[in-house]
Amino acid sequence: MRLNLIILFLMIASSPVWAQKWQPGNFTDVKGNRTVGMVRVNPGGKGPIKDEGFIEFRDDPKANPYKLSASDIRSFVAGKDSFVVAHAPQNEAWSKEETDFVQVVLDAPLKLYMAKGGTGSGSSGVHFSPGVSAGYGTGGYGGGLGGGVGISLGGGGGNGGGKSGKTVYYYGESTAEMKRLTDDNFEDIMVEVMGDEEQVVDNIKEHKYNLRNIDKLLDYYNKMIASHTGAKP
């Protein structure tokens, strides 16, 4: 009986519906005003504005939810994760929403952003047009992409159906300057982004990490930061 309950819990925890739960958070509007409440990152249905990602927000757990399109806000926080509004970088096209959200993975002077791309109806978030970004890294679209920390953004995903996509990382001082992180530039960029941790930098230069296991690198870096500050990674 206990084993059955554990299996049931794991099934619920890994389901798309669970991923769409309401989380405590806040959003900052285009005027810089911050509102605290509850956020749902991956709501179903259509957004308020065509070709834009959106979230759902409620001022408190009992309040009626309302939708916020990407152009309505500058950024939002859901749980422990922070997201900012972004447009498709130069030489790329986001085939579903040209204005959407990317997650701020590392908030350093040279920031690291993450978005999840995909193709196929029903899949939500930032969608990339295959072939458009040829010239970024090896193999063009999809070349060298990996990592195990994928997210779905932007709304319109229904119950999370459709095909899962590649996890794509960008770097830049702001979203206006985002460029794709690739196999070719990985070492140079990550050394600069994580330059405050000498041991981490040494591991990158020794090629212990690459784009395919960047999730492990991020975990390692956060644990090193936490060891200095005493905070949980």
Alpha-carbon 13 to chain mean position? 19
Residue 140 has pLDDT above 80, yes or no: no
Kindly list the distances between the CA atom of residue 52 and the CA atoms of 108, 153, 200, in Å, as whole numbers in the listed order.
27, 11, 37
Picking from 154, 163, 125, the residue whose alpha carbon sits closest to that of residue 47 is 154
Query: Could you tell me which residues come within 8 angstroms of residue 26 by beta carbon, excluding any fewer than 6 positions away?
Result: 34, 35, 36, 37, 39, 76, 77
Residue 167 has pLDDT above 80, yes or no: yes
Cβ atoms 69, 62 nearer than 8 A: no
The secondary element (H helix, E strand) that includes residue 104 is strand 99-106
- Residue 118: predicted pLDDT: 41
If DSSP codes are grouped into helix, strand and coil, which group holds residue 158?
Answer: coil
CA R_g for the chain: 18
- Residue 94: predicted pLDDT: 76
- Residue 104: predicted pLDDT: 96
Among residues of the chain, what percentage have pLDDT more than 70? 67
Q: How far apart are CA 149 and CA 186, in angstroms?
A: 17
pTM for the model: 0.72
Instruction: For 68-118, write each residue's pLDDT tens digit.
Output: 999 999 999 999 999 999 988 877 877 666 788 999 999 999 999 998 754
Tell me the DSSP string of 30-58.
TTS-EEEEEEESS--S--SSTTB-EEEEE
